[in-house]
Structure 1
Amino acid sequence: MSDFRLKAFYSVAKNLSFTKASQELFVSQPAITKHIRELESLYQVRLFNRMGNKISLTEAGTVLLEHCERILTEYRRLEYDMHLLNKEYAGELRLGASTTIAQYVLPPVLARFTEKYPKITVSLIDTNSRNIETALQQHTIDLGMVEGVFRLPNLKYEPFLCDELVPVVASDCPIGQSGEISLEEFKQVPLVLRERGSGTLDAIELALAEQHLKLSSLNVRMYLGSTESIKSFLRFSHSMGIVSIAALSRELKEGSFRIVDIDGLQFKRHFCFVSAQGQEAETVVHFMRFLQQQV
């Protein structure tokens, strides 16, 4: 029901790209341009400064963006409430999840959720915890799910699942054949870890700090951008990774990987919902309750 011109403007303004907006909204770039021109004609202002291949918001564009965020949020609430009168759940839900949650926790939950509530349109972005928090602050998602331990004061965090990170090696790796190594041995083990900004690395650094250790005191061979990349690396290397137990069910069952305990060192954390301060949209609250019942 919402004015598609506002959706087109909002997408261009957040992406600062007509091309990305057309891809995001599944319409042609000329159609996006037409909607923007209609808004500019309606209000007799320019909404974007065009500098070669780059664009930026004008003062009028900044004002419209502030109103646009509120208007589109209210449209989503209106759609949800009106359908609820007929005992139907409908609306839009924009999710963001850090990589581990998006790949290993959410797929079965989202499959059941979309099957049960087919009139709720769900989208999901998959990136690291820092980027999820940024997306919330920029209002490009309604709800985030992160694995980080560092929390921003202007966002609200609510734990929903306890997770354990485990040191893991390929089954034929000579490291920790007895199933356990000492803290001193661990310092010498070649490690492959997640990248800076990931909640996984945050949790690892916090656990190390409790033992008065820093990453710089370890033998970190490489930082990689996903758990799947780490697992692939470990298959061809006599190195150790530290990854979520949720990501290892198949490999442990097949016997291709094994867990190595480190004496005196454990890596535990919580997966958390993260949202902007204030009242969450009804679709957000509904999804949070559904997920908590599933995990």
Structure 2
Amino acid sequence: MDQLLLVFITVAEKKNFSRAAEELHMTQPAVSQYIQTLERTIGSRLLDRTNKYVRLNKAGEIVYHHAKEMVGLYTKMQNLVDDLTNKASGELAIGASYSFGEYVLPHIIAYLREHYPLIKPAITIGNTKEIERLVVNRQLDVGVVEGEFQHEKLTFEPFAEDEMYVVASIDHRLARKKVMKFSELEVETWIVREKGSGTREATEKMFQLFEETPVQLMEFGSTQIIKESVEAGLGVSLFSKWAIRKEVTAGSLSVLRMKGTPIKRKFSLVTTTDPFQPKAVEVFMSLLRKDFAEAVPEVKI
């Protein structure tokens, strides 16, 4: 059954029998035979076929979703058995939300590769909700997100603290003020991340903390675009210290100093509630728990 599912997943993702056959090092007739066998086993057609494309129908979408999870479980089972006698090795699918993934994770991966060269990390970056979904569906082995959340199928383990600062253009009217009140920013345009982002959650908690609700919000789905927008004078925003260290050092962004900041939050590991984890996952998690300070350079704002 695992080979049937693997062939089906490949056809669904490649949307073409020939490309799937090439990917699997099989003949096209063999691929077609596997699909027909799976459809007979399931008792339903799974793909809509024309001369131009192959795509999932409703039944195919259901099978694809569960097939991905089943193949992931099978692979994890094999890895766990292999781990009993071998050193930590093989592929490690890591997901991370944007602030951690873009500005902290590269240092972690460099440290991991130096000490565990047999582990081959593959990185996926998304907002917190996306990473949670991929871990639940077993498309990721482990995730790292900002903030603290709850999910019945996931385990969250805080391992490090993040500091967040309100940032403006260097030409902003308050950029050189030594100490200010948050209420002075109520009239400003706040540039924020999308719903589902850990940074958006932290921003909304900050508004609640200071009991201020900005009148104008602009929502962007990228930390880099928000930084560029703030630098251009479009508004102010809340950033992790990791995301702004280079710009603050270079003098292209200004941190607005006020009581109650920096805003603090946790970086958390995200895994399924399975009692067993592959050795590569255990190594990665142990690294973050014990060697985070050694692997990642100190940042002061």
What is the TM-score with the length of structure 1 in the denominator? 0.81
User: What is the aligned counterpart of 1:294 among 285, 292, 295?
Assistant: 292
Query: Are 2:248 and 2:254, in contact at CA under 8 Å, matched by a contact in 1?
Result: yes
Residue type of the alignment partner of 2:40: V
Structure 1 residue 246 corresponds to structure 2 residue 249: no
Q: Give the alignment partner of residue 72 of structure 1, picking from 70, 75, 86.
A: 75
The 2-side partners of 1:211 and 1:32 are apart by: 64
Structure 2 unaligned runs (5+)? 294-301
**Is 1:46–1:61's contact at 8 Å kept on the other side of the alignment?**
no
Q: Distance in 1 between matches of 2:33 and 2:120?
A: 27
Q: Residues 100-158 of structure 1: CA distance to partner in whole angstroms, max 9, x if unpaired?
A: 11111110110221233222221110000000001011110010100133322321000
SS at match of 2:177: coil
Distance 2:36 2:17 in 1: 20
Q: Which residue of the partner structure matches residue 149 of structure 1?
A: 148
Partners of 2:274 and 2:243 lie apart in 1 by: 33
For residues 146 and 21 of structure 1, the distance between their equivalents in structure 2, rounded to whole angstroms, comes to 37
Q: 1:60 to 1:97 in 2, by over 3 A?
A: closer
1:115 & 1:35 partners in 2: Cα distance? 42
Q: Distance in 2 between matches of 1:91 and 1:249?
A: 33
CA distance in 1, matches of 2:17, 2:139: 13
Contact 1:174/1:238 (<8 A) preserved: no
Partner in structure 1 of residue 279 of structure 2? 282
Instruction: Point out the structure with the larger strand share.
Output: 1
Change (3 A) 1:190 1:34: farther
Structure 1 gaps, min length 5: none
Question: Structure 1 residues 203, 276: CA separation in 2 closer, same or farther (over 3 Å shift)?
Answer: same
Does the aligned pair in 1 maintain the 2:69–2:137 contact within 8 Å?
no
Residue 224 of structure 2 is matched in structure 1 by 228
Equivalent pair of 1:162/1:270 in contact (CA under 8 Å): yes
Q: Secondary structure at the match of 1:94?
A: strand
d(CA) in 2 for partners of 1:126 and 1:257?
Answer: 25
Secondary structure of the equivalent of 2:86?
A: helix
Residue in structure 1 matched with residue 101 of structure 2 by the alignment: 102
> Aligned with 1:152: secondary structure?
coil
Q: Look up the equivalent residue of 1:231 and give its one-letter code.
A: K
Identify which of 59, 84, 99 aligns with 1:81. 84
Rounded Cα–Cα distance in structure 2 between residues aligned with 1:22 and 1:157: 42
1:1-295 correspondence runs (5 A): 7-10=6-9, 16-19=12-15, 28=23, 36-37=31-32, 39-40=34-35, 45=40, 49-51=46-48, 53-56=54-57, 57=59, 67-84=70-87, 89-213=88-212, 217-264=213-260, 266-279=262-275, 280-292=277-289, 293-295=291-293
Distance 1:9 1:74, change over 3 A: farther
- Tell me the secondary structure at the aligned position of residue 150 of structure 2: coil
- The verdict on how the C-alpha distance between 1:278 and 1:190 changes in structure 2, with shifts beyond 3 A counting, is same
CA distance 1:105–1:197, change in 2 (3 Å): same
- From the superposition, tell whether residues 96 and 248 of structure 1 become closer, same or farther in structure 2 (CA, over 3 Å): same
Residue 239 of structure 1 aligns to a residue whose secondary structure is coil
Tell me if the contact between 1:169 and 1:241 (Cα under 8 Å) persists in the aligned partners: yes
Judge conservation of contact 2:164–2:239 (CA < 8 Å) in 1. yes
Amino acid at match of 1:186: L
Q: How many residues align?
A: 282
C-alpha displacement of 1:35: 6.8
- Distance, in Å, in 2 between the alignment partners of 1:242 and 1:176 is 14
In structure 2, relative to structure 1, the CA distance for the partners of 1:7 and 1:60 (3 Å cut) is closer
In structure 2, what residue type is equivalent to 1:54? R
**3-state SS of paired residue (1:83):** coil
Would the alpha carbon gap of residues 61 and 189 (structure 1) be closer, same or farther in structure 2, given more than 3 Å must change? closer
TM value normalised by structure 2: 0.80
